[in-house]
C-alpha cells in the first residue's frame, strides 16, 4: 500500500457509475417491455440473461421449507441470534405518532405510518447474501410494513440460494420471486400479472439494477444508489498492525473498486501495516480482487498529530470507520462523519456486517457527510396533523391572510377571512 504524509484535503468521493448511453437505453427498453408485457417479459429476460426457463416466477413454500431444512443447524442458530440482535437494535429506533394540545384548544401532531409494501432486491451470482435479507427485512417488520417482497436472479438450476431462502423463511417472508436485473426493478415498481407493485425498493445490484432504480425513482421511492464498500481505520502507535491489515482487507476483498485507508500519526505503524497487508494477501482466496482495490483505492495517510488524523477522517466521511487508539472513545465527540463507527480493537467491521445489531446498509462515496444508514425511519412516512381551534383562528387569522397576500395569493387570504366573517 502506498504511504503518504498528509495534512488534509483528501476525499473518498469517486464518480458514481452512471453507465453508458447504451446501458441506459437497454434499461429503458427492459422497463418498457415489463410495463407492457408483464410476466412474459420477465420470463423472456430471465431466460436470456440468467439462462433459466421458468414456468413460475414465485418461489413455492415447499422450496423455502427445503432450503430451511437443508441449512446446517449450527448456522441456522447463528442466523437466529443475529436476527435477534438486529431486531432488538432496530426496535429502539421506532417512532410513535405524537400529539400536543395548546391552551387555545389547537391540536398539532405527527402521524407515523408504515409503508404498505416494500421490495428487497437481493443480488445473485456466485455469492448468497442472507445477511442482507436480515438487514432489510427486520427494520421493515419493526416499522410495521405488512407486505415485504424479495426478488433475486435464479441460479442455473432455477433455484435461489439456500441461505437467502432460509433467512427469509426464518423471518416469515413468503413472497419471493425468481427475477433479477432491471426487469425485477421494473416489476417491483409497476407490477405484472404475478408481482404486485410496491411503494419503495431496497437493495444493491449491478449497473443495470442501479440504472433501473434511478429510472423508476419518483414513481416509487428507492433507498440509495450505493457505491463500492469503504473502510477507514484511525489508529495510533498502540494499535496492532496485523489487526488493522486484516480489517483493511476485509473490505478490499469486496470489489476491485472498494476503498481501504489507514490514517495514523505513526510512521512506524504505517510501515508495519503496509508490510502486514502484503503478508496477509498471500493466502487470501480473493487476493486478486483485494490487491486491485488496494492498488487503486487503498492508502496509508500519515499525519503530524492525532488531531490532524481526526480532521482527515472527518473529511473522508467513510462508510465504515474503525477507531483503534489508546483511548478510542475519547475521540467520540470530535468524530462527525461516518456511516458506522467502530471503537476499540474488538469492534472489527465484520461484527457490524453480521451480528452486533446496527444496520450494515450504509452511505458511501463520502455521502456520510449528510446521510445515514438504513433504519426503521426508511420504512415509514410521516403526516402532519393540524386541528386548529376557532379561538386560534380568530387570534391569528388576520396574520395568516396578510402572509398570503404578501405572496400574491388572494384566494388563500379569503379562505381564512370567510371563516372570520370578513370575506365578501
- Per the annotation, does 412 bind a ligand? yes
Query: What is the reported pLDDT for 423?
Result: 43
> Is pLDDT above 70 for 15?
no
Q: Quick: pLDDT tens for 385-423.
A: 999 999 999 999 999 999 999 999 999 999 999 999 754
Where residue 94 falls among pLDDT bands split at 50, 70, 90? very high
- Per the annotation, does 254 bind a ligand? yes
What is the mean predicted confidence (pLDDT) over 190-216?
95
> Is pLDDT above 50 for 136?
yes
Report residue 373 as a C-alpha cell: 444508514
Burial class (CB in 10 A: 0-12, 13-18, 19+), 421: exposed
Among 261, 263, 256, CA closest to 291:
256
Query: What is the reported pLDDT for 125?
Result: 63
Compare 299 and 1 and report the one with higher pLDDT. Answer: 299
Q: For strands 380-387 and 107-114, give the pairing.
A: antiparallel
For residue 74, give Cα distances in angstroms to 33, 81, 84, 419: 44, 11, 15, 69
For residue 190, give Cα distances in angstroms to 48, 57, 151, 216, 252: 21, 16, 14, 9, 36
Report residue 70 as a C-alpha cell: 437443508
- Extended beta strands in 60-155, E state: 98-101, 107-114, 117-121, 147-151
- Per the annotation, does 390 bind a ligand? no
Burial class (CB in 10 A: 0-12, 13-18, 19+), 2: exposed
Report residue 265 as a C-alpha cell: 500519526
- Per the annotation, does 360 bind a ligand? no
Among 300, 306, 313, CA closest to 272:
300
- Per the annotation, does 304 bind a ligand? no
Q: Among 90, 230, 276, 320, which one carries the catalytic annotation? A: 320
Per-chain mean pLDDT for the chain: 95
The C-alpha cell 425468481 sits at 178
Q: What DSSP designation does 153 have?
A: P
Query: What is the reported pLDDT for 114?
Result: 98
Q: Quick: pLDDT tens for 223-255.
A: 988 888 999 999 999 999 999 999 999 999 998
- Per the annotation, does 183 bind a ligand? yes
Query: What is the reported pLDDT for 424?
Result: 45
What is the mean predicted confidence (pLDDT) over 135-159?
96
- Per the annotation, does 89 bind a ligand? no
Query: What is the reported pLDDT for 126?
Result: 55
For the sheet with 117-121, list strands across it.
175-177, 147-151, 117-121, 200-202, 221-222
Q: Quick: pLDDT tens for 16-38.
A: 556 789 999 999 999 999 999 99
> Is pLDDT above 70 for 271?
yes
Instruction: Report the range of poorest mean pLDDT among 58-67, 113-122, 123-132, 287-296.
Output: 123-132
> Is pLDDT above 80 for 47?
yes
Burial class (CB in 10 A: 0-12, 13-18, 19+), 408: exposed
- Per the annotation, does 395 bind a ligand? no
Q: Among 230, 243, 319, 349, which one carries the catalytic annotation? A: 319
Task: Note whether 112 and 97 are within 8 A (CB).
Answer: yes
Task: Note whether 358 and 134 are within 8 A (CB).
Answer: no
Q: Quick: pLDDT tens for 319-358.
A: 999 999 999 999 999 999 999 999 999 999 999 999 999 9
d(CA 136, CA 124): 16
219 is catalytic: no
320 is catalytic: yes
Q: What DSSP designation does 220 have?
A: B
Amino acid at each position: 500500500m502506498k504511504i503518504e504524509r498528509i495534512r488534509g484535503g483528501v476525499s473518498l468521493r469517486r464518480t458514481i457509475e452512471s453507465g453508458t448511453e447504451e446501458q441506459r437505453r437497454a434499461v429503458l427498453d427492459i422497463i418498457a417491455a415489463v410495463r407492457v408485457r408483464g410476466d412474459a417479459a420477465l420470463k423472456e429476460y430471465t431466460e436470456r440473461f440468467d439462462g433459466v426457463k421458468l414456468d413460475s416466477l414465485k418461489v413455492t413454500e415447499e422450496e423455502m421449507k427445503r432450503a430451511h431444512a437443508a441449512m446446517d443447524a449450527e448456522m441456522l442458530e447463528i442466523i437466529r441470534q443475529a436476527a435477534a440482535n438486529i431486531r432488538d437494535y432496530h426496535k429502539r429506533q421506532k417512532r410513535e405518532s405524537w400529539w400536543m394540545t395548546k391552551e387555545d384548544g389547537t391540536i398539532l401532531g405527527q402521524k407515523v405510518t408504515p409503508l404498505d409494501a416494500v421490495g428487497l432486491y437481493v443480488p445473485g451470482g456466485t455469492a448468497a447474501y442472507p445477511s442482507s435479507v436480515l438487514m432489510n427485512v427486520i427494520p421493515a417488520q419493526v416499522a410495521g410494513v405488512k407486505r415485504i417482497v424479495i426478488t433475486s436472479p435464479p441460479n442455473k438450476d432455477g433455484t435461489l440460494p439456500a441461505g437467502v431462502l432460509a433467512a427469509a423463511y426464518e423471518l416469515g417472508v413468503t413472497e419471493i420471486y425468481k427475477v433479477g436485473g432491471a426487469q425485477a426493478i421494473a416489476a417491483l415498481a409497476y407490477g405484472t400479472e404475478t408481482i404486485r407493485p410496491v411503494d419503495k425498493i431496497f437493495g444493491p445490484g449491478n449497473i443495470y439494477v442501479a440504472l433501473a432504480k434511478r429510472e423508476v425513482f419518483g414513481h416509487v421511492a428507492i433507498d440509495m444508489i450505493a457505491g463500492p464498500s469503504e473502510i477507514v481505520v484511525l489508529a495510533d502507535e498502540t494499535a496492532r498492525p496485523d489487526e488493522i491489515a486484516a480489517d483493511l482487507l476485509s473490505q478490499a476483498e469486496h470489489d476491485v473498486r472498494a476503498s481501504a485507508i489507514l490514517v495514523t500519526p505513526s510512521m512506524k505503524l504505517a510501515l508495519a501495516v503496509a508490510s502486514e497487508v502484503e503478508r496477509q494477501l498471500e493466502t487470501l482466496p480473493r487476493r486478486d480482487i483485494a490487491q486491485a482495490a488496494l492498488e487503486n483505492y487503498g492508502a496509508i495517510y500519515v499525519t503530524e498529530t492525532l488531531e490532524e488524523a481526526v480532521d482527515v477522517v472527518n473529511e473522508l466521511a467513510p462508510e465504515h470507520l474503525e477507531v483503534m487508539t489508546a483511548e478510542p472513545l475519547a475521540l467520540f465527540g470530535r468524530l462527525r462523519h461516518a456511516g458506522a463507527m467502530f471503537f476499540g480493537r474488538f469492534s472489527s467491521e465484520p461484527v457490524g456486517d453480521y451480528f452486533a445489531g446496527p444496520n450494515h446498509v450504509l452511505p458511501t462515496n463520502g455521502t456520510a457527510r449528510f446521510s445515514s444508514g438504513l433504519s426503521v425511519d426508511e420504512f415509514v412516512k410521516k403526516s402532519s396533523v393540524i386541528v386548529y381551534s376557532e379561538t386560534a383562528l380568530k387570534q391569528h387569522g388576520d396574520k395568516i391572510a396578510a402572509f398570503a397576500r404578501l405572496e400574491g395569493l388572494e384566494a388563500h387570504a379569503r379562505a381564512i377571512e370567510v371563516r372570520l366573517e370578513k370575506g365578501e
